[in-house]
Amino acid sequence: MLKRQQMGEQMFQPAQVETAIGLLTSAHPDRPVSTWDLLRSVVADSAKSLDQRLQQSGRLEPERFSLQEANQRLAKLLESRRFA
């Protein structure tokens, strides 16, 4: 995730997702098309959510970690969810 963020890439490239779904489709030809449409939808929603969370949290900085800052951000996030 950090490497992708540094490179400015999306977490899931559409071509990669389609390749993986293609492999699953060929491995499970008896599954209905709706199964793969649902998987596409879940992956797309997950990628969007992940991108939003990365934007909200800012750049990842694994060399700098403060437990106090992390706890403050977590408390703020939990507080905002209580009233949502």
State pLDDT tens for residues 26-80: 999 999 999 889 999 888 888 888 778 777 777 667 666 788 888 898 898 888 7
Domain ranges in the chain are 2-82
Burial (0-12, 13-18, 19+ Cβ within 10 Å), 57: exposed
User: CB atoms < 10 A from the CB of 63, how many?
Assistant: 5
Confidence (pTM)? 0.53
> Given this model, what pLDDT does residue 34 score?
92
In angstroms, how far apart are the furthest CA atoms of the chain?
A: 51
